[in-house]
A and B are shown apart, each in its own frame.
Chain A
């Protein structure tokens, strides 16, 4: 039989054909191209297959299935907790001695680098601070050379903000103390130099300055500075000053008391 007819009959018997397909089969049967007897036998036999019964599965099948399902559910629930434990174990297992050593080395390098950076920062800050100080000193020196007493006072005050001063700044302050036309500026210069009393050059400068001073205010201020800084050399300078000049009684008493302290 033609293969197309075979497929057509298979469709017809199983009820897959639309009306047009059924008409086509009937036409072929009518034309004798499909054997009607055989077609009817196949159709009947197809229906008769329905009589073949199949036994039911036993209850055991259900029991087995649901036992398996429960087991799988438990395994799944367990697998989550196991996964977590396994993951933690894996992480722990990976921390071998070389890795641990490597980690420690990295930490140390990190710490060192951090400290170094910190030090660098500190160095930079110190450098910046030094530059600031240098600028202040330069500004102070320039201002001390200025014509305005107010500016020179400001300059001396700036010097009090300096934790230390270089030779140029000290020289500028001593020059101000010895040469400035304003008593107030000179007095303020003494105050500024007292802060730098640890410097030998300042100490010597202060002692030498006694002989160069005209103003009793400045001399008394220097006397206080000598006591404060324990500049015993100042005593002889004050004695010489008392011998060479005449001061009013208050100043003379002040200087003698100062000499007595310094001696």
Chain B
């Protein structure tokens, strides 16, 4: 095992070399923040959840076995932290109106720039409108670069189910973007 691999570092953390967790933090704090941010759209909550993940790693470091990919393990912890957080506090949906208002406020920019921004923001709105399960699959696959097999392990399901969910999530985003585009053009 490469001594600087995620697994090797985590095994050292398990044995008591806590400084090695700093290296893992440097590698994973941004992907984790990105995951949480795309799930909740809140910077503070995302940072709290990243902190929570590393607190859990420290607390349960003795239970790390080194089985499977480290990224799978850490995103499983992240997912549980996210679920626990929202069991306590209902996720606040970002009102579409905010984005629509923002689109209206940027009318002074060049039409092509607006078009790109519109597309990007419509994609974000569409992504946010997905149910949690589908959004989770898209985020882990498209933004965090995890394989379908790894996502299946994190979500405790089959690889085929994840592929199907991914296809349907993408189709739903596409339909939502088309619908929102039409709504905007009518206005």
Contacts and interface: CB of A to CB of B under 8 A. Distances in A.
Nearest to B50: A61
A10 B164 contact: yes
Given A7-B163, A58-B43, A61-B33, A45 B16 contact: no
Contacts of A49: 123, 127, 138, 142-143, 173
Interface in A64-107: 64-66, 68-69, 72-73, 76
B94 interface: no
Interface of A: 3, 6-7, 9-11, 13-14, 16, 38, 41-42, 45-46, 48-52, 54-58, 60-62, 64-66, 68-69, 72-73, 76
A54 B142 contact: no
B170 A54 contact: no
Interface residues of B, number: 43
B50 A57 contact: yes
B133 interface: no
B127 A41 contact: no
A72 B18 contact: yes
Interface stretch (B21-29, B76-84, B96-104, B106-114): B21-29
Q: Is the interface of B mostly helix, strand, loop or mixed?
A: helix
Contacts of A52: 38, 120, 123-124, 127, 143
Contact of B21 (A60, A62, A64, A69): A69
Contact of B25 (A55, A58, A60, A65): A65
Contacts of A72: 18, 58
Contacts of B16: 76
Contact of A57 (B47, B116, B168, B173): B47
B11 interface: no
B160 interface: yes
B18 A6 contact: no
A45 B174 contact: yes
Contacts of A64: 47, 51
Contact of A10 (B18, B46, B123, B148): B148
A10 B166 contact: yes
